[in-house]
């Protein structure tokens, strides 16, 4: 089984904020593959379905949005991994999250490593006791003024950014599709580009 985890903060207050980009990536992926995020399990919102990507057999895939605040995200991930048939987190788990150090909409995949200050990923690594976890970072950029970064990530995207998000989130879902079908190295090679055009889904 594969598990896609999106990181964010729960509740309507935070639903459209920059820090919830991981949730929105997970939701875009789930909607594409008709996975209903309608179960309360593992301390989060969870859905599970069969995902068929062109060129591969259908896969059993779960999608999880932890419902603790960002800096406690690891509790839900650890519980889910203890209950679900995810064989190897280094191969079968991917975490989607926001990144202030990437320009808006830029994607960066890594097979493992540190959290680079992202508190949700930090807690996931701490709770699992390992950092060899694939992650998909979605760029939200830094403020152009002296605004505190904490305040920045808890604000909504600008109207112009919100208008651009559907295509950018679709590209992030494409990256998860490639990871599912071909592995993290293939996804890194395709999506970790300085200037990355929006690409069609693997089956298109």
List active site positions: 19
Q: Give the list of residues 6+ apart from residue 126 with CB closer than 8 angstroms, or none.
A: 74
Q: How many CB atoms lie within 10 A of CB 41?
A: 16
CB count within 10 Å of CB 21 equals 28
Element (H, E) at 164: helix 159-182
Report the DSSP beta bridge partners of residue 63. 4, 47
Q: Cα–chain-centroid distance for residue 45?
A: 14
- Residues 6 or more apart from 102 whose CB is under 8 A from it? 108, 137, 138, 139, 140, 141
Q: Describe the strand order of the beta sheet including 107-110 as a list of residue ranges.
A: 39-41, 44-51, 59-66, 2-6, 93-99, 135-139, 107-110
Specify the residue for token string 């995200």: 73
Strand stretches in the chain, DSSP E:
2-6, 39-41, 44-51, 59-66, 93-99, 107-110, 135-139
């Amino acid at each position: 089984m594969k598990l896609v985890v999106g990181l964010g903060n729960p509740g309507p207050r935070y639903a459209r904020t920059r820090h919830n980009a991981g949730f929105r990536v997970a939701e875009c992926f789930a909607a594409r593959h008709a996975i209903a995020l309608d179960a309360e399990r593992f301390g989060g919102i969870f859905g599970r379905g069969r995902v068929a990507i062109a060129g591969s057999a259908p896969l059993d895939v779960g999608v999880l949005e932890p419902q603790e605040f960002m800096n406690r995200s690891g509790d839900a991930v650890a519980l889910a991994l203890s209950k679900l048939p995810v064989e190897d987190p280094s191969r079968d788990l991917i975490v989607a999250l926001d990144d202030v150090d990437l320009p808006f909409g830029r994607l960066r995949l890594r097979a493992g490593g540190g959290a680079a200050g992202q508190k949700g990923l930090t807690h996931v690594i701490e709770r699992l006791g390992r950092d060899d976890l694939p992650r998909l970072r979605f760029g939200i950029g830094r403020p152009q003024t002296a605004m505190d970064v904490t305040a920045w990530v808890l604000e909504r995207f600008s109207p112009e950014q919100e208008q651009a998000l559907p295509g950018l989130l679709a590209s992030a879902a494409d990256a998860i599709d490639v990871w599912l079908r071909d592995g993290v190295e293939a996804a890194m090679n395709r999506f970790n580009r300085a200037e990355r055009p929006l690409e069609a889904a693997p089956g298109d």
